[in-house]
Amino acid sequence: MENLTAKAFELRKTVLHMIYQAKTGHIGGDFSVMDILVTLYYIHMNVAPGREKDPDRDRFILSKGHSVESLYAVLCDKGFFPKEELLTYSTYLSKYIGHPNNKINGIEMNSGSLGHGLSVSVGMALAGKKDGRTYRVYTVMGDGELAEGSVWEGAMAAGHYKLDNLCAVVDRNRLQISGSTEDVMSHDNLEKRFASFGWYVIHAEGNSIKSLDEAFIKAKETRGMPTVIIADTTKGYGVSFMENKAGWHHKVPTEQELRAGLEELEEKRRAANE
């Protein structure tokens, strides 16, 4: 767990470099979701380079597609594509654009139009059931996108079909581009809302690999209903001057902020390995 925590801080450094170089990106949500992605890709998901067409591979949809930099960093580190390609992020004619692009190895669908990921994941999970496949489907949503009505249509369908091969994760960092989620559209009763649609609800510390690992194990053990993990995270996690700041939803660091951020992330990476 300590090694993967260190890995998550190291990959945040990759993201920080990407966004600084490209002069674009959603760094706050990248940093809040990183531990979730690391736990899935390094522990729980049955995926690997060269198996992108394997019918029994697990499926992953990053519904909050604006946090694609973290997904690209993880996929690159896992060997889905070479680092030289990652360096082209957001450059002219690069396929590594600002939202997931299914022309890239390891990415199942173009996403980022908020509210669509869960519904598509429901379709994938239902298809797996009908085809007798063993794969699982995972999707990560931002808490801000839960104001989209299509999310709750998908939640209703998943409960109706008892899709126990489906696990949704809410990156609950409580901030969106326009401020606090509780000011924009409050979500204080998320547990009751999902439960009312027939979901098994788990809480996890979203920036703790250990807590997330335990939650994903419980999700795999759940039968007869889909699972949602409400992962309490910190926007901008890992860099103190970015944490819990709505302004870092979409902001490019200055050279000074780049250096300070990299130094802080490196300190935390080393501490995690001690």
In this structure, what CATH number is given to the domain that contains residue 51? 3.40.50.970
Percent pLDDT > 70 in the chain is 100
Q: How many domains does the chain have?
A: 1
Q: pLDDT band at 179, cuts 50/70/90?
A: confident
HSE, CB side, 13 Å, CA atoms: give it for residue 245. Answer: 16
Averaged pLDDT for residues 151-161: 98
b/e for 93-122, b at 16 or more Cβ within 10 A?
eeebbbbbbeebebbbbebbebbbbbbbbb
Residue 166 belongs to domain spanning: 2-273
User: Of 72-81, 170-179, 254-263, where does mean pLDDT reach its minimum?
Assistant: 170-179
The tokens for 106 are: 């390891």
* Statement: residue 120 has pLDDT above 90: yes
Percent pLDDT > 90 in the chain is 92
Q: What is the mean pLDDT of the chain?
A: 96
pLDDT at 274: 81
CA distance 46 to 57: 6
Q: Select from 251, 202, 194 the least CA-distant residue to 230.
A: 202
Confidence (pTM)? 0.96
* Statement: residue 182 has pLDDT above 90: no
Q: Select from 70, 40, 56, 47 the least CA-distant residue to 219.
A: 40
pLDDT at 175: 82
pLDDT in tens, 100-114: 999 999 999 999 889
Q: pLDDT band at 14, cuts 50/70/90?
A: very high
Q: pLDDT band at 251, cuts 50/70/90?
A: very high
